[in-house]
Amino acid sequence: MQDVTDLAFMGVIAHYGAPDYFFTEFFRVHAQSRPEKHILRSIDENQTGRPVFAQLIGEEIHHLARTATELLRHPTAGIDLNMGCPAPKVYKKNVGGGLLREPAKIDEILGALRHACPGLFTVKMRIGFDGTEHFERILDLINKHDVDLLSLHGRTVKEMYRSEVHYDYIARAVARVKCPVLANGNITSAATAVRVLAETKAAGVMIGRHAIRNPWIFRQCREAFAGQSVTVVTLADVRDYIARLYDATRQPGLPERMHVNKMKKYLNFVGQSVDATGAFLHDMRRTETEAALFEVCDRHLLAEPAKIFADEPYPGVIARPNCETPTPDSDGCSLETITA
């Protein structure tokens, strides 16, 4: 997830139960681009014990291949191509989800990246741009170029995060492509992951936004897949997570108010499962200092520390006030994955 899944966040997630592998934030690729140093750190300094794939976004074939070759000099698990980001500022540049309008261009890009990647080459995409007329053709290109793994978000680019997820299209992809398929889109809990895998026959699930809300979700998925009791999370556990995340994301020289504002980006998601009224979110969004932020956390999370943190987001408690703003997700950028 862009501006989320950095080295610090990966480390915090791994503490509560790491996914099988991570994807970096996307490396922006164009004629003048060089791999961003802060994203490279999530590969070079990775201590999670899990592989990390380097995610690319771009359309210039020569420079995509050049960047892939350069990134493969680092200890990355493989190269991932983003063909799903639904942010208008991205798809208007014909990258991310914008590529889904041009199967012929996808054919060229996949061919070039497959040639540049002797190891694992993966793709994440949506089911289409504003419709699904190219869906089967693109799946056939996934087969043609021997892509090793497909992560599929079951919405079109234009549907962003508003519609229901079309899991039937994920099932169609599972039946059509040779490689494993990961189901993505509204994987909100371990129970949802179990249901989606049963419905789609996918090899696993990719989880983005809901790993911000609930970093225990990967552990819980493994437990559910194995038929075991699922870890119960309390509000006191959530208070520990917030403190750990605050410390991990602290940067030298970053003003306190900016750090608090950065935390609000994460807590907008965490708050979806704290209380049904949205009171935590209301109070948290109005803080400007570390002391004020943690006073709100203590008041809402430690008053009843044994209270259960909801597995699913409470209905009507939204992560962001403006629903038109794209939320971080698998196709939005970098993700975490767990296989069944």
Catalytic center residues? 85
For the record, the structure tokens of 202 come out as 């996918």
The CA distances from residue 72 to 113, 116, 193, 261, 264, in Å, are 12, 9, 32, 35, 34
**Amino acid type, 78:** G
The CA distances from residue 41 to 63, 226, 238, 304, in Å, are 21, 34, 27, 39
DSSP secondary structure, 128-176, as one string: -SSSSTTHHHHHHHHHHTT-SEEEEESS-TTTTTTSPP-HHHHHHHHHH
Question: From CA 283, how far away is CA 273, in angstroms rounded?
Answer: 15
Cβ–Cβ < 8 Å for 53, 74: no
Closest CA to 230 of 241, 245, 220: 220
Q: What is residue 308's DSSP assignment?
A: B
Cβ–Cβ < 8 Å for 220, 243: no
Question: From CA 211, how far away is CA 193, in angstroms rounded?
Answer: 13
For the record, the structure tokens of 208 come out as 């983005």
Q: What is residue 232's DSSP assignment?
A: P
Q: What is residue 15's DSSP assignment?
A: H
Show the DSSP H helices in the chain as ranges: 7-17, 37-44, 61-71, 88-91, 103-116, 135-144, 167-176, 190-200, 209-213, 217-225, 235-248, 256-270, 279-284, 290-301
For the record, the structure tokens of 121 come out as 């080459």
